[in-house]
Amino acid sequence: MSTVVFPVVKPTSTFASIFARTINVNYFHVYFPYFRLIFGVAVDLLGNFFKVKVVSSSFYNTTSTENKPKVIHRVFLLPSGIIKSMVTKRQKQILDFIRKFIAKNDYSPTLEEIKDHFGLSSVATIHEHLQKLKESGHLNRPENQPRSINIVGHETMVKIPLLGTIAAGQPIEAIEVPETITIPTGKFGEYSNYYALRVEGNSMIDDGIYDGDVVVIRKQPTAENGQTVVAIVNDNEATLKKIYREKNGFRLQPANPTLFPIYTKELEIRGIVVRIIRNLERQTEGEKAADRKLQRRVDFSWDFNGAKTKPYTHGLHTYPAMFIPQVARRLLLTYSKKGDTVCDIFCGSGTALVESRLLGRNSYGIDLNPLAIFLAKTKIKPINPKILWREYLKLLSRVKEIKNNEIKKPKFKNLEFWFKDKTITELAKIKKAIKEVKNKDVQNFLLVAFSEIVRKASNTKNGEFKLVRMKSDDLEKYNPNVLEIFKKRVEMSIKGMEEYHKDVDRNTLAKAIYGDSSKDNGIKENSIDCIVTSPPYGDSRTTVAYGQFSRLSAQWIDIFDDPDSAPGVDNELLGGRASKTLVHSLSSEYLNGALEQIAKKDEARAKDVLSFYIGLNACLKQAYRILKPGKHFCLVIGNRLVKQVRIPTDFIIAELGEKIGFTCEDIFVRNIPGKRMPIKTSPTNIVGELEDTMTKESVVVLRKTRRASYIS
């Protein structure tokens, strides 16, 4: 037999105090079948008479041996006047929202979701309201537990089967080990349609599902895109992931930016997650991050899936891992204002600079790739489209007049290996005609278009950033019409310039600087209002090969005095030269952990990785020097995979930045739906050894708070 206790908060009468006694409910229920109905009516009448608020909850009698669930009630008598005085209009709105949210989703909202619903700027305000509602007895909210808000009310507890373990990571063999677990029914309905699984792994931590938690599953064979499902793949392997339908099958997406999705043509859905039961005894990966004040949040509003990423002059030239303009624009709008001076310390081909001029910001861009700086300078320079069309038509006529004996072929190593003789001749004619254009800005504009077609007309494989020659059979069939490719590129570029010329703020200034961001590039201390940048994800020799991508174009358009020096670009970029040892002074526990894991597999690769972060740290110090106090530094970065070890670059940047004098204000994760990057990379350059690249990236927001005493 079980009991129910009636505690009274500040009772308004002696009778109410006497009423708050322990009563054996089961005794009355057994001998008086209508006891509960009579008891409930009596409590309501007494509540009205003594002006008290009746709030009830219930729990399941776990000691019962009967097949039928047995319900036990618990009643609280609270002075109704106190309740009413504690609930403001806004608190009632929040309470109603939480109640409706739980009814719809079968789990509670996060503070971020409540904040966004009411259009508030800070979760601190929501936290304050929730604390008041908790104090007034309207809800329960355990500390430091995501999605753990519970509305105080009447709930019934039932037993459902606990069928074993589900992988929130790599799929594991589906083995059902029948146990039972007691849960509140909430809005579940018929509880025979539900079962529970214990979670193993951390692939769903950004959805608040941690290793050791229990998830309640509603049995159903179908699911909507974005729902978290129990999926069976490879005949009998079970995994817990978000499901999305793709053209050729399904994508099972983890809620952890350090992990990759699973792609499969066939799967079986065993149900969807409707409730999470937290395991408080095990510290999870997410909780460890919280202990260290570093957490990621997922924000799908930054994906910009399907957005046009090549408006204005952004489409003049392809560039590896380009910073999409929508992300740059939103960061600029959020953390700077019109008239500010912005800097991109890894400007690449100039995306942030173009967006800055369109938004009325002055800007500096710095990069160590000479081709990138040439592209950026051209993209930020508005040119009258009428002049471009006139010069372009004259150029086409001139190309047709140039004879083979009038051209001068470039001289660099392996020219004939990368280009067919006919292609070399046609490219040389176009280049000669461009060099004859007297207007330097127009000439540069046409050279950018020419640079783009050099790679398209070469013998390199399509879709590769590293220089890889076509297979013999493909090369034999490949005969590009160079002039037609050039015409299409120029005409598309002029249309982009028309947009840019119309919308650019001519009161702004933009400057692209060829330089090393870890050094002083002539930008004054405390002069920049906002830094927005997307650093390389790792050293270019083993990740995105910026130098190799740029090499043929740079050699054809005379970027270098010595064309054969072009292959050395990658060695000069961030992390281009490996560290001699693994001894370092960088203050990052996350970096140390990653280096230790990589070094166990390949010490040389660990040294490559360390070199990159040593260089990046020096760049962070220079960024601190030029940024004004109190201003923001936004970095869009990917957490790369090395030797199957995921390196949390976002957390590493946060740790390094805090040592320098920044405060980490936010880290959120976005999907990369259209970023120009290879699906696989070959970091060792050994045939067959491939690693996945990133499908997500993190945005780290730092703020300069104090002056560092050791920056040189």
Active site residues: 203, 241
Name, in order, each residue with C-beta under 8 angstroms of 626's C-beta and a sequence gap of 6 or more.
343, 523, 524, 525, 526, 527, 528, 531
Sign of CA dihedral 684, 686, 687, 688: negative
Partner residues linked to 511 by β-bridges: 364
Reduced to 3 states (helix: H, G, I; strand: E, B; else coil), residue 586 is coil
686: exposed, middle or buried (Cβ count in 10 Å: 0-12, 13-18, 19+): exposed
* Residue-wise DSSP of 631-645: EEEEEEE---EETTE
Separation of alpha carbons 636 and 633, rounded Å: 10
Q: Give 471's DSSP letter.
A: P
Separation of alpha carbons 692 and 499, rounded Å: 37
Q: Give 109's DSSP letter.
A: P
- In this structure, what token pair is assigned to residue 579? 């560290």
Separation of alpha carbons 84 and 87, rounded Å: 6
Separation of alpha carbons 541 and 124, rounded Å: 45
> Taking the mean position of all CA atoms in its chain, how far away is CA 351?
19
289: exposed, middle or buried (Cβ count in 10 Å: 0-12, 13-18, 19+): middle
- In this structure, what token pair is assigned to residue 448? 């950018």
In 206-363, alpha helices (H): 285-291, 325-335, 351-358
Per DSSP bridges, beta strands 249-253 and 696-704 are: unpaired
Q: Give 470's DSSP letter.
A: P
Residue found by looking up tokens 């005609």 in the block: 433
Closest CA to 260 of 693, 559, 596, 622: 693
Separation of alpha carbons 330 and 324, rounded Å: 11
Name, in order, each residue with C-beta under 8 angstroms of 238's C-beta and a sequence gap of 6 or more.
166, 167, 171, 172, 173, 174, 230, 231, 232, 270
In 504-602, alpha helices (H): 546-556, 569-572, 589-601
Reduced to 3 states (helix: H, G, I; strand: E, B; else coil), residue 179 is strand
Reduced to 3 states (helix: H, G, I; strand: E, B; else coil), residue 422 is helix
Separation of alpha carbons 3 and 8, rounded Å: 16
Q: Produce one character per residue of 617-644: b if its CB has 16 or more CB atoms within 10 Å, e if not.
A: bbbbbbbbbbbeeebbbbbbbbbbbbbe
Name, in order, each residue with C-beta under 8 angstroms of 79's C-beta and a sequence gap of 6 or more.
9, 10, 11, 12, 51, 52, 53
Residue found by looking up tokens 């395991």 in the block: 279
Separation of alpha carbons 342 and 355, rounded Å: 10
Separation of alpha carbons 602 and 614, rounded Å: 19
Per DSSP bridges, beta strands 194-200 and 157-167 are: parallel
Closest CA to 173 of 236, 108, 222, 86: 236
